[in-house]
Amino acid sequence: MTAALVPFLDAAGWHDAAQMPLAGDASSRRYLRLARGDDSAIVMQAPVATEAERDSLAAFLRIGDHLTALGLSAPKIFAADPAAGLLLLEDFGDATLARLLQRDPDLAHTAYLAACTVIDALAKAALPDWIARPDPKAQAGMITLTLDFLPQAHGLADLEPMLATALATHADGPPVIALRDYHGDNLIWLPDRDGPARVGLLDFQDGVALPLGYDLAALLDDPRRDIPAQWRAALIARFAAVHGFATDQAAARIATLSLLRNLRILGIFHRLAGQGGKPQYRAYLPRTGALIDRAVADPALADLRAPVAALRALTAPWAEGVAA
């Protein structure tokens, strides 16, 4: 943490709290847990050296306010110094859905179902006028991060436009707010709250308006962990019933959005493992590839199999050295 932390905590009235560093995420943000008696809070320090970093912090605050206004559980802001990148946040605790999945599968199932009700709530909410609304072409452009690591020959030239066509065909309809990093590490179980508020939301600063189902694809097709196959099938069936899709339509929608997301994540994890100096992310690459293969196996995505197979062949060396 920077020298600005001491005066920040003084002004917030937390100067006498015990401090404990918390594990970071894929970003360059850093976190401390403050403890004082029975009270606790989280200090987040976000990088703010560039305009993009300052915009990201502003988006966190803006989207958090919007989620709170919808009755969802974004962390309360107790104090803020945006110029220094410092926020003092409500502490949701450590009961992430990822930990529940490991320790208490029955409770995790309940929590994952509650996470789906958050998606339902966001689908019902009007889009704020400030939210970005990428069209299918721009959505498909999200995989450029991966394609930029690869030669432009070998059958990849058609992948992005073909993905845009699949998105327009199988993931059409009015967009909804997607928090994007909607997975078990960023969702906290809050059993003392009611309804969708039982799920604490973190890491939502990259939220944009995307096709309905994007966050469900992120939740169920998570490269960091395996979700039980029967849960996945049941939650997609639930999604179809709640949002008025036929079962095959819902499956094609989730497959298309999962393909989009994991084609992008493949490049993100490769970059983090190499240029980002976080080699632990290489261990997720085999599962990311398996999720891509499963998505493109959906009958609706048959036309994408050849270019995806070309990409998978070119990216296979990225996972070399990872234990099977």
Assign residue 281 the CATH number of its domain. Answer: 3.90.1200.10
* pTM (2 d.p.): 0.94
In a domain, 58, yes or no: yes
Q: Are residues 42 and 135 in the same domain?
A: no
What pLDDT sits at residue 39? 93
What pLDDT sits at residue 4? 84
Residues in the chain: 324
* Residue tagged 């070998």 (tokens): 154
The full DSSP string for 64-91 is HHHHHHTT-BPPPEEEEEGGGTEEEEE-
Q: Are residues 51 and 173 in the same domain?
A: no
Question: Residue 106: helix, strand or coil by DSSP?
Answer: helix
In a domain, 197, yes or no: yes
Q: Are residues 235 and 283 in the same domain?
A: yes
pLDDT tens digits for range 35-69: 998 999 999 999 999 999 999 999 999 999 999 99
Domain final residue pick, 72, 90, 108: 90
- Find the domain containing 284 and state its range: 97-319
> Half-sphere exposure of 256 toward its Cβ, with a 13 Å CA cutoff?
30
Find the mean pLDDT for residues 221-232: 94
Find the mean pLDDT for residues 287-301: 97
| Average model confidence (pLDDT) across the chain | 94
Give the Cα separation of 46 and 77 in Å (integer). Answer: 14
What pLDDT sits at residue 276? 85
**Counting Cβ atoms within 10 Å, is residue 68 exposed (0-12), middle (13-18) or buried (19+)?**
middle
Question: Residue 126: helix, strand or coil by DSSP?
Answer: coil
What pLDDT sits at residue 324? 52
In a domain, 232, yes or no: yes
What pLDDT sits at residue 25? 60
Domain final residue pick, 90, 125, 142: 90
In a domain, 136, yes or no: yes
Domain final residue pick, 90, 113, 128: 90
CATH, residue 84:
3.30.200.20
Q: Are residues 308 and 210 in the same domain?
A: yes
What pLDDT sits at residue 27? 65
In a domain, 324, yes or no: no
